[in-house]
Structure 1
Amino acid sequence: MALIENPSQVVTSAAGHRRRSGRTLHYESVSTAVAALDALLIVASSVAAGMAYHWLAFGVVIDPSPWFGVGITIAASFVMVMNARGLYRPTALLSFSLQIRSILAAGIGIMAFLAAVAFFLKIGEVFSRASMMAFLLLAVTVLCTSRIILKRTLRSAIAHGLFQMKRVLLICGESFGYEKLASEVSGYGLSVQHVLRCQNDDFSVLSGAFGSGINFSVDEVLVATPAANLPNIDMLLTELRALPLPIKVVVSDLATGLVAQSIRHIGGNIAFEVQRRPLTIVERMMKRLFDIAFAGTALLFLAPLLAVVAIAIKLDSPGPVFFRQMRRGYNNEAFRIVKFRSMRVMEDGDTVRQARRDDDRITRVGAFIRAKSIDELPQFWNVLMGQMSIVGPRPHAVAHDREYDLILRKYTFRRHAKPGLTGWAQINGHRGETPTLSHMEARLTYDLWYIHNWSFWLDLRIVGRTVIEMLNSKTAY
């Protein structure tokens, strides 16, 4: 990487970085290769699943032609959906969680659509539900495995220079940390070969520098500037347009989060999408179906235990079996959470004191059910009613919400998801009392990470870890 401190060197610098010789691939070719691989894997999974199912279930070898046709149809649909969403771009391929979520959503959606078509056209007898389910499971498993291998292979190939990257001239002010950007752009198929730094972030010194072209070879130009300096780079951009090269502006401070979002044209104006819903409609449907199935099954199987606990509470101390308290849920909507009563008081006002170790308000039965989180089990009813989810940020008393809304700037972001019976924070050691502000800040960090990184598999992982925590936890009281 050549550092150019004097603008006059733009036209007098020695020739820049030569392209890597030998057999190298264009970085963009990864997209085509992965799309073709996906299609091949889906067709192979279709034929293999169909033949294996009939051989294992009925001991017969079938004609693979129908399954070959189904595989081609689903492969074409899958590749088109993934391509339309930009999921074959190399940068998207490097995001493992994004790829897994997309494979699951696209695979299930396409399979459900084709199942509906088969039902209405009355051709379902050719493909049994069990065989189609085997096909779906095999295809998803193979595709997810390919993404694990691809991510490791792609990063290694980039590190070893096996791809032919676009050579970049970076123009920036002297205060800009160009080394960090140079290391980050490799994931976008770019390689910074020359850096032109302007003293005092003054781009006017480049006036006339590009009129005669440049004396080294690059494929693209990046201009990095703080957002406050954007109005002052119009002259530079006009100068750069003399070069027959792509030109991009990199905003290097708080505006990055804005310009990185989707863009819409509204009349003669441009609108940036600063924030979208945390989950897509398909993801919300998946999460809701899981909530209903899990909560309904849990209430059915736990009914005897719930009855025993209710009787024990009634015999142990005077008062109702259940404790209902106002909480805030998704989009700040108020609801009454249901818990087994574990205390002698029923606080639900402007001041609610958190439970502490050896709290004299806790009953004998209450101490046991709180330690094992049994007092939370009635909240499966809140889940069935759609007020809560199995997994999500734990809801706090309204009085505590009001307090932390004023203290922690991002605290309200917790309500971008339905509150849950358990959450990412709880299985990472942030369960129970939050005696200091730092404790709540740590819990908030985990809650926001969960919202931004949600996946169905993450929910299953949290549920599994929660069961273990319920048996071993020493932080709840």
Structure 2
Amino acid sequence: MHKPSNFNYNQSNFIQRLLDSALVILSFFIMLNVYNVPFNRDYFLLLVTYLFLFSYLSESVGVYRSWRLGKFSHMCRLVLFSLASAFLIMILIMFLMKYAETYSRVVLIGWFSLSTVSLITSRLIIRETKRIRRAKGYGMQNVAIVGLTQSGIHLYREIEKHQELGFNFVGFYDDREPKRLGGSETSLIKGSVNDAVGIAQFGKIQKLYVCLPMVAEKRIADIIEQLGNTTVDVLITPDFLLKNLMQARIGSVGEVDTISVFESPVNGMKRFYKRSFDIVFSFLAIVGLSPLLLVIAAAIKLNSPGPVIFKQDRYGLDGRKIKVWKFRSMTVTENGGKVTQARKNDSRITNVGGFLRRTSLDELPQFFNVLMGDMSVVGPRPHAVSHNEEYRSLITYYMLRHKVLPGITGWAQINGWRGETETLDKMEKRIEFDLAYIRNWSIWWDVKIVIMTVFKGFVGKNVY
């Protein structure tokens, strides 16, 4: 017999945050006690700083999101990343503030190591506990699907694949005759839609997924109305292309409910996280690369007449025009209604410019664009205005790439889709990767892309 649990995700999420903080604090005091180090004002500030950094980073990378459909190993990697990054930032702050000698090194290393082991172990224990409870029938939920549609079959396969969900699949319910449907899943049809409503009203299921076509609006409304006097969770899985939604978020205007279709995923605190990352990273890049920037500027000036910096009109966030900075690499500075992409052996490219373009060093001044807020370190690469106007009518969802700030580097670039796009399919592939980045954005992904750019993002076979 399945025994449903009243313990919901929000409670579990809140307790996990408290548990993590408690384990970090406990590990801290254990190491102080082991090495007989007194707890004073300096160590108190250290503990508060680390807890703040860890909380900030763990929230940024999604450590506390629902992992019912996520991989446990990936969650552990994010926990380790948050702990290690917070520790390294804390050490850097100590070094810059000249407080490094104030603290015991063995305490710090022991604290980090024990915190890491504690947080990972706690998650292993929780996972095993859930597995044992679900094996005994605790926390299991009976679920049914209305509609043997493509989206319904896909949902069923995901439920079967992820046993950690704690879902017990009851069956499909569809008004059509099984012989009209075909496929191996027809054997799982247990009755009509009215039968599904019946078992829901008798409390035999906890979740009912409605996977009917959206054209069956009246039928869906009827099902929802009939289930209004039950406690079953009713979830609608639309049959239109959910992968093309930028942000499937429920909102409201007064008393009217809305669901976002095309909306930036970088909103609220996420916008703050991304902007703070951009400011810190671009500032450090400008300071650290300043000698190289000066050398490049001098080389350009000596190599050919014209300005050092070329400012070209591009579309930025929400399609607004911005001036993107680049080191001038050509004898011309095209910024009109028609801009010809650079090609192999292009006569317009200067000697210095050829090297800058092949190594992407001509893009370095865009860190100033990032600092000013026109661009981000990571995002879809901005195209010339004329190219935007050309491709927006040729490629579906092309303009959705402007739902986030354009970037110096991006997911498409590190996967080889950069440089000349002389055929439409190359640009389509670039847009495909850009939209994948936007839909799945996270601070952790930005960090990953920056790291990958160092190793594979500066050169490309189509870059001239």
TM-score, structure 2 length as denominator? 0.71
Provide the aligned length of Structure 1 versus Structure 2. 418
In the alignment, residue 299 of structure 1 is paired with which amino acid? I
Q: Is the 8 A contact 1:38 1:143 kept in 2?
A: no
The whole-number CA distance in structure 2 between the counterparts of 1:366 and 1:44 is 54
Residue equivalent to 2:410: 423
Quickly say closer, same or farther: Cα 1:354–1:36, change in 2 above 3 A.
Answer: same
Q: Tell me the SS of whatever aligns to 1:278.
A: coil
Q: Is the 8 A contact 2:200 2:227 kept in 1?
A: no
Residue equivalent to 1:346: 333
Q: Tell me the SS of whatever aligns to 1:228.
A: coil
Residue equivalent to 1:310: 297
Q: Tell me the SS of whatever aligns to 1:324.
A: strand
Residue equivalent to 1:15: none
Residue equivalent to 1:330: 317
Quickly say closer, same or farther: Cα 1:137–1:455, change in 2 above 3 A.
Answer: farther
Runs (5+) with no aligned partner, structure 2: 87-101, 181-190
Residue equivalent to 2:140: 165
Q: Is the 8 A contact 2:63 2:78 kept in 1?
A: no
The whole-number CA distance in structure 1 between the counterparts of 2:449 and 2:176 is 52
- Whether 1:197 and 2:174 are equivalent positions in the alignment is yes
The whole-number CA distance in structure 1 between the counterparts of 2:369 and 2:358 is 21
Alignment of 1:202-281 (within 5 A): 218-220=204-206, 221-232=208-219, 246=232, 248=234, 250-254=236-240, 261-264=249-252, 266-267=254-255, 269-281=256-268
Residue equivalent to 2:19: 40
For residues 398-431 of structure 1, what are the alpha-carbon distances to aligned partners after superposition, in whole Å with 9 as ceiling and x for unaligned? Answer: 1101111111121111111111111111111112
* Alpha-carbon offset, residue 296 of structure 1: 2.4
Q: Tell me the SS of whatever aligns to 2:168.
A: strand
Residue equivalent to 1:9: none
Quickly say closer, same or farther: Cα 1:354–1:185, change in 2 above 3 A.
Answer: same
The whole-number CA distance in structure 2 between the counterparts of 1:147 and 1:440 is 46
- Whether 1:458 and 2:445 are equivalent positions in the alignment is yes
Residue equivalent to 2:158: 184
Q: Is the 8 A contact 1:50 1:135 kept in 2?
A: no
Q: Is the 8 A contact 1:227 1:251 kept in 2?
A: no
* Alpha-carbon offset, residue 289 of structure 1: 2.6
Q: Choose 1 or 2 for highest CA Rg.
A: 1
The whole-number CA distance in structure 2 between the counterparts of 1:440 and 1:191 is 44
The whole-number CA distance in structure 1 between the counterparts of 2:14 and 2:392 is 46
Which deviates the most, 281-290 or 407-416? 281-290
The whole-number CA distance in structure 2 between the counterparts of 1:169 and 1:328 is 47
* Alpha-carbon offset, residue 397 of structure 1: 0.7
Quickly say closer, same or farther: Cα 1:197–1:138, change in 2 above 3 A.
Answer: same
Alpha-carbon RMSD: 5.0
Residue equivalent to 1:114: none
* Alpha-carbon offset, residue 382 of structure 1: 1.5
Residue equivalent to 2:353: 366
Which deviates the most, 336-345 or 24-33? 24-33
Q: Is the 8 A contact 2:263 2:403 kept in 1?
A: no
Quickly say closer, same or farther: Cα 1:396–1:54, change in 2 above 3 A.
Answer: farther
The whole-number CA distance in structure 1 between the counterparts of 2:383 and 2:126 is 39
Q: Tell me the percent identity.
A: 31
The whole-number CA distance in structure 1 between the counterparts of 2:212 and 2:296 is 64
For residues 12-38 of structure 1, what are the alpha-carbon distances to aligned partners after superposition, in whole Å with 9 as ceiling and x for unaligned? Answer: xxxxxxx36xxx885957776665454
In the alignment, residue 252 of structure 2 is paired with which amino acid? R
Q: Tell me the SS of whatever aligns to 1:199.
A: coil
The whole-number CA distance in structure 2 between the counterparts of 1:462 and 1:208 is 50
Q: Tell me the SS of whatever aligns to 2:419.
A: coil
* Alpha-carbon offset, residue 357 of structure 1: 1.2
For residues 95-125 of structure 1, what are the alpha-carbon distances to aligned partners after superposition, in whole Å with 9 as ceiling and x for unaligned? Answer: 9679959x979x99xxxxxxxxxxxxxxxxx
In the alignment, residue 253 of structure 1 is paired with which amino acid? D
Residue equivalent to 1:287: 274
Quickly say closer, same or farther: Cα 1:347–1:305, change in 2 above 3 A.
Answer: same
Query: Which residue of 421, 431, 454 maps to 1:444?
Result: 431
- Whether 1:52 and 2:37 are equivalent positions in the alignment is no
Quickly say closer, same or farther: Cα 1:401–1:248, change in 2 above 3 A.
Answer: same
* Alpha-carbon offset, residue 355 of structure 1: 0.6
Query: Which residue of 385, 393, 396 maps to 1:409?
Result: 396
Quickly say closer, same or farther: Cα 1:28–1:309, change in 2 above 3 A.
Answer: same
Q: Is the 8 A contact 1:46 1:139 kept in 2?
A: no
Q: Which has the higher contact order (CA 8 A, sep 6+)?
A: 1
The whole-number CA distance in structure 2 between the counterparts of 1:147 and 1:452 is 31
Which deviates the most, 226-235 or 87-96? 87-96
Quickly say closer, same or farther: Cα 1:449–1:362, change in 2 above 3 A.
Answer: same
* Alpha-carbon offset, residue 436 of structure 1: 1.1
Q: Is the 8 A contact 1:394 1:422 kept in 2?
A: yes
The whole-number CA distance in structure 1 between the counterparts of 2:194 and 2:304 is 87
Q: Is the 8 A contact 1:46 1:135 kept in 2?
A: no
Residue equivalent to 1:116: none
Which deviates the most, 393-402 or 303-312? 303-312
The whole-number CA distance in structure 2 between the counterparts of 1:467 and 1:441 is 25
Quickly say closer, same or farther: Cα 1:157–1:317, change in 2 above 3 A.
Answer: farther
* Alpha-carbon offset, residue 326 of structure 1: 0.9
